Amino acid sequence: DAGITQSPRHKVTETGTPVTLRCHQTENHRYMYWYRQDPGHGLRLIHYSYGVKDTDKGEVSDGYSVSRSKTEDFLLTLESATSSQTSVYFCAISGMIPGPNSPLHFGNGTRLTVT
Amino acid sequence: EDKVVQSPLSLVVHEGDTVTLNCSYEVTNFRSLLWYKQEKKAPTFLFMLTSSGIEKKSGRLSSILDKKELSSILNITATQTGDSAIYLCAVGGKGADGLTFGKGTHLIIQP
């Protein structure tokens, strides 16, 4: 699994509570990504990082924040969870800008349910 | 805004059949097109295509890119039940903002 660990694997939380998902990699890759996957929408980019403390927004960033204080860890925080954030969250990494010779590799996902 | 459209969205065939999955795209500064297979967990990488007309092949799976038509196909011959999965197409531009994915084709192979 390209040395990517996501935690927790499953989480159920209540509306309005903060939630933090963790992605840990052992590949020393520069680029890290958070995607969410929902039926009918495919994979959509939330936030990404191109280095320690360097992050940027993706397509569906509202309601989410990220932090990357170390190369190996990329955290996704839902400040106040809503039912629309119920989804499967995937972390992905790449050694270079994703492209020739550098496909994204994915973690096993975190299934988040907001009740 | 980059866009990837896959068709069909779902497909049911019998074991032994050949299937063709389609992917079309609109992307600024196209760099590569990738195919992934997703079973129960993480998407796993199948192919990366950057040049038109050059077929990539792995066993019963093959894929080709047509940059003039802004599209790609993924062929699976002699399908097996283990080929049942969601097949995802993604395109990458020149930026660091990852890949843009299509909604996927849900392929079901019946015995």
User: Of B34, B41, B101, which has the smallest distance from its Cβ to A42's Cβ?
Assistant: B101
Band of the pLDDT at A101, cuts 50, 70, 90? Answer: low
Band of the pLDDT at A103, cuts 50, 70, 90? Answer: confident
Band of the pLDDT at A61, cuts 50, 70, 90? Answer: very high
In chain B, the residue whose alpha carbon lies closest to the alpha carbon of A56 is B97
> CB A42 to CB B96 under 8 A?
no
The two structure tokens encoding residue A81: 């969870």
Give CA–CA dist A75/A84, Å, rounded.
20
> What is the average pLDDT score of chain A?
92
Q: How far is A2 from chain B (nearest CA, A)?
A: 10
Contacts of B32 (CB under 8 A, 6+ apart): A98, A99, A100, B48, B49, B50, B91, B92
DSSP B9-44: SEEEEETT--EEEEEEEE-TT--EEEEEEESSSS-E
Band of the pLDDT at A41, cuts 50, 70, 90? Answer: confident
> To the nearest whole percent, how much of chain B has pLDDT over 70?
98
Strand order in the sheet with A73-78: A4-7, A19-25, A73-78, A64-70
Secondary structure (3-state) at A84 = helix
Q: What is the pLDDT of residues B49-97, one digit of tens each?
A: 988 888 999 999 999 999 999 999 999 999 999 999 999 999 987 777 7
What single DSSP character describes residue A8? Answer: -
Secondary structure (3-state) at B82 = helix
Give CA–CA dist A83/A93, Å, rounded.
27
List of chain A residues whose C-beta atoms are within 8 Å of the C-beta of residue B44:
106
> To the nearest whole percent, how much of chain A has pLDDT over 90?
77
Band of the pLDDT at A76, cuts 50, 70, 90? Answer: very high
A65, A81 contact by CB (below 8 A): no
Give CA–CA dist A32/A34, Å, rounded.
7
- pLDDT average, residue stretch B13-40: 94
> CB B42 to CB A108 under 8 A?
yes
Element (H, E) at B38: strand B32-38
> What is the average pLDDT score of chain B?
93
Q: Does A31 touch chain B (CB under 8 A)?
A: yes
